[in-house]
Chain A
Amino acid sequence: MNRRMRRKIKNGAFLSLSLVATLTGLACLAAILFTLISNGVAGLSGHIFTQMTPPPGGQGGLLNAIYGSAMMTLLGILIGSPIGVLAGTYLAEYGRTSRLSMVIRFINDVLLSAPSIIIGLFVYEIVVVRMGHFSAIAGALALAVLAIPVTLRTTEDMLNLVPIGMKDSSAALGAYPWRTILSVLYPAARSGIVTGLLLAIARISGETAPLLFTALNNQFWSTNLNAPMANLPVVIFQFALSPYKDWQDLAWAGALLITMTILILSISARVLLALLQAEKGSGR
């Protein structure tokens, strides 16, 4: 076998291995989705949306958990995203090159991949311990802390994409920076910022670890923000690890529900971003 053959074989071998790696990755996604659908659809019935989480052996649904998850995610986004957007604005417009901004940018990227359980412990220490009990508001705060880095990052990136000419035109008309940002930059970067919000919602709505010691769980219907509140991830955690068949079925149904929501959110974010890029491309 000559040298040329050896090189060819080596080439073929490694390239096939990379194909195998890709197929493995895709197979994992397919396997997870398949399991979710085949197990989740069985438990997915009308009761899910009309009844509360049942005691073991009883019939029930996930209404209180769905409500709690929606509520805390909403609150988390309402608290977290304005902070993220404002901070992103500072980094992109006011403090673009300052030393402090470099540090903040770095810390934000670290927070972006920091373990969420640490954030849960942090909120437990500063909110739950002070208040003396678990509460939905503590859960929402933990989610807000997780939403800030995501929105900050996308806002800064999107503001940087706005053509400099638009800023200069606004300034030339005599507008102050705040006016330029609110009336020119935000509208121009709108779909990008919305994408960031969608990604943040997708990120926090499936979070379990930070809710374990902040919102805890609640077997009953509760709208009190100052009390423990049921939420899908913790219910899934509890029910899946229980020995009861009906609880496990509900856990699968909840898992399917939450994954579909998140996948739809991520896909819409991507579509939005693709549309944005297409628009940018044709504009030039």
Chain B
Amino acid sequence: MPGSTYLWQERERNSHVAIIDPRHAAKQLIFERVFRSATFLAALLVLLILGGVAVSLLRGAWPALSHFGFSFVSREVWNPVTDQFGALAPIYGTVMTSLIAMLIAVPTGFGIALFLTELCPPLLKRPIGVAVELLAAVPSIIFGIWGLFVLAPVLQRHVQPWLIRHVGDLPAIGHLFKGPPYGIGILTAGIVLAIMVLPFIAATMRDVFDTVPPMLKESGYGLGATTWEVIWNVVVPHSRVGIVGGVMLGLGRALGETMAVTFVIGNAHRISSSLIAPGTTISSSIANEFTEAVGDLYTSSLIALGLLLFLITFTVIAAAQAMLRRLERRSGVVA
């Protein structure tokens, strides 16, 4: 491939030799320069967008950040009437819902990836894979109304009363399941998020498992290992980086997911020790309050929340991409 680029550069330099009509050659060269610059500018725009996002969020958030200083991220208060804003409750909600989502989605995604790569009859491999990917294509607002009208009532009537009765009195973890069963809240949001990020985690893990050289697996089987032993001792260690990358990609999605959470979180700006109590997340606070926010400090505080979310998700996604890239390069060398 470098060969052809080389050819093209050579061609541009020696164009007067190869093409007889100099006017034609000049025109071609102009077209070439215009087209090349257009593609270059389009590529640069990607960088500009990211830079623009960072700068515009920083500028919008500045009034709030300079007014509250560090206390913006350390205070729980969120009071539009007295113009007091702190981000602790949304940060807590974002972290907790994502944590619940990952606790559910990572093992399940791992199971699906394992099923698709190691167990599934070849005939079903494609349909099931496509079905899982279609789950990823369903827009988040659909998960939101499904969560609110279908999942929340089920949780409220059947699951949460059971949790309160049987787990609520245990020592250590009991306080996580105390209080009335609202149906909506941190736990419900976490479950909806888990369903949403499940296809991303499953698809990435499947792709990663597929990069394990068959020879390694066959060596394991040759030594008499069971399927599970091959998976746990050969496939998983070989694709560790990719698994972590896939999990973090899912985490990035969960942290920033907006509409699905907004429907089922309850939008309460406080930190409750119970998981079944309503709460709020960074993204759902912005979605719920932004268009109704009056006053510069209020709007600016919401944009500051956006800036926080941007920093958190950017770090997580960038780390995930870096890991997946490392794996890609390595498997590229092996293949």
Contact = CB atoms under 8 A, between A and B. Distances in A.
A102 to B, nearest CB: 9
A32 B228 CA distance: 32
Contact of A90 (B32, B43, B132): B43
Interface string A1-42: 000000110110011011111101110110110011001000
Nearest to B194: A28
A148 B46 CA distance: 8
A174 interface: yes
B92 to A, nearest CB: 18
Interface in A211-265: 212-213, 216, 233, 236-237, 240-241, 251-252, 255, 258-259, 262-263
A154 interface: no
Contacts of A179: 28, 31
Contacts of A115: 255-258, 283, 309-310, 313
A113 interface: yes
A44 interface: no
A191 interface: no
Contacts of A212: 287, 290-291
B137 interface: yes
A164 B128 contact: no
A32 B39 contact: no
Contacts of B39: 86-87, 89-90, 93-94
Interface in B247-291: 249, 252-253, 255-259, 262-263, 283, 286-287, 290-291
Contacts of B114: 18, 21
Contacts of B31: 176, 178-179
B256 A29 contact: no
Interface in B287-335: 287, 290-291, 303, 306, 309-310, 313-314, 317-318, 321-322, 325
Interface stretch (A47-55, A60-68, A70-78, A120-128): A120-128
Given A110-B50, A213-B290, A240 B148 contact: yes
Interface in B30-52: 31-32, 34-36, 38-47, 49-50, 52
13 contacts: A18-B110, A22-B128, A25-B112, A93-B5, A110-B321, A113-B252, A122-B52, A122-B57, A237-B259, A255-B142, A262-B137, A262-B138, A263-B138
